[in-house]
Amino acid sequence: MVLSDDELEWSLRIVKRMISKGVAGKHHKQPQSIAGWFAVHDRGTVKQVLDSMVSDPDVPLRRKGRGTVTLVGIPEGKRYLRENGSEPPTEW
């Protein structure tokens, strides 16, 4: 499954936020928790895009037990952002 242009834009925003919050590897979150990082009117979209992202093999996101999701790793997330024309969050 390939993400649409709108879903791709959202996926980049979501991956950036997950990288900045350190949600990778053993650190995982419920989709509604991730949606809570965005504006109230965008939360439904974020949850839908997360479902699409898990189904797309090109996105370094996986579903873990009880519906939680995580990035495969921070480097993979940064690579995904660069490959899709976005800059990773800056490191301090």
Domain map (residue ranges) of the chain: 5-83
Mean pLDDT of 18-47: 96
State pTM to two decimals: 0.92
Which residues lie across from 70 on neighbouring strands?
A: 62
Report pLDDT for 92. 46
Decide which of 1.25.40, 3.30.70, 1.10.10, 1.10.260 is the CATH code for 5-83. Answer: 1.10.10
Percent above pLDDT 70 for the chain:
97
DSSP 2-68: ---HHHHHHHHHHHHHHHHHT-BTT--B-HHHHHTTS-GGGHHHHHHHHHHHHH-TTS-EEE-GGG-
- Six-digit token pair at 3? 């993400």
